[in-house]
Chain A
Amino acid sequence: MEIEFRPGQLVLEIPARTEFVSLVRVVVAAAAELEPDLEHDRIDDLRVAVSEATTNAIEAHGLSGSLDRIRIQCNLADDEISVVVHDEGVGFDPASVPDLPEPESPDRLEHESGLGVHLMQMLADESEITSSEDGTDVTLVVYSSKRRRRSSST
């Protein structure tokens, strides 16, 4: 794994192996801690969302047989942290992820997988998936508490 620090930015490159996912979570959370106005529960949300995106990226490389590294870029701004997880594996259509049935439905127990995209969308303030046959970029943005207050008052 390689980590590179620049002003306001941290870039990690990891081998496409699942044992690196926990370390990515630790490093991204440490970067988020540098933002003094980011609450701990929001950092926890970011940890989960980044875990999902990184695991998906590793699986995409596994499916395509790519030996390239996964790139995780954290951008620290005054009022938000954004994380871009980039892979060069087989892409996918985010619209193909099925909606979850209601919790009371017996079919809900048929969804042992497919919760990852839902979690990313629910836990990040902004999430975007851009995917093609050349790879996928997942962008996750978590706002500072100050910005969330500003957003909710407008």
Chain B
Amino acid sequence: MWSGTVSGVQIVVHSHSEGDWTVLTVAGELDVVGAPDLRQSVMDAVKTGRHRLVLDLSGVDFIDSFGLGVLVGALKRVRLLDGDLMVIVPEPRVRRVLEVCDLDRVFTIHRSLADAMATLS
């Protein structure tokens, strides 16, 4: 038998601009622990008038329903403000979770930030 303790794993979110768009680059696991931090980052961006968001999940290797909930909430918020949202998902295992919930038909998903930006030019 093994006994021990563990500390929570957090995510890291960085923000930068690409033209009219604000890119939130996310690294970590989007689960019950990590997802609330991304929700807060989205709310902070929207509150400061940035309604065209790219969520770059290139550094995310795990997502569950909590992460999906944050993505759905983000899309709902920016649409209410006539904004838009793109999601970058290169990792097949993350993409599969979105596909299982048919969210690949709800979101505009790209495999890289360069692909996403190319669609705007």
Query: Smallest Cβ distance from B92 to chain A, in angstroms?
Result: 8
B79 partner residues in chain A, CB cutoff 8 A: 109
Does A23 reach chain B (CB closer than 8 Å)? yes
B101 near A115 with CB under 8 A, answer yes
The 8 Å CB contact of A18, one of B32, B63, B69, is B32
Interface string of B47-77 (1 = CB under 8 A from A): 0000000000000001111101110110110
Find residues 53-85 in chain A having any chain B CB closer than 8 Å to their own CB: 55, 58
A2 partner residues in chain B, CB cutoff 8 A: 1-3
Query: Smallest Cβ distance from B9 to chain A, in angstroms?
Result: 5
B1 partner residues in chain A, CB cutoff 8 A: 2-4
Given contacts A48-B64, A116-B64, A118-B101, contact A109 B33 (CB under 8 A): no
Does A95 reach chain B (CB closer than 8 Å)? no
A112 near B8 with CB under 8 A, answer no
B92 partner residues in chain A, CB cutoff 8 A: 41
Q: How far is the CA of A22 from the CA of B66 in the complex (A)?
A: 13
Does A108 reach chain B (CB closer than 8 Å)? yes
Does A113 reach chain B (CB closer than 8 Å)? yes
Q: Supply 29 A–B pairs (Cβ within 8 Å), ascending by A.
A: A1-B3, A1-B5, A2-B3, A18-B32, A19-B33, A21-B33, A22-B29, A41-B96, A44-B93, A45-B96, A48-B62, A51-B62, A51-B64, A52-B64, A55-B31, A55-B66, A103-B105, A104-B105, A109-B72, A109-B75, A109-B76, A109-B79, A112-B69, A112-B70, A113-B65, A113-B69, A115-B69, A119-B64, A119-B65
Contacts from B to A (Cβ < 8 Å): 1-9, 29, 31-33, 62-66, 68-70, 72-73, 75-76, 79, 92-93, 96-97, 100-103, 105-106
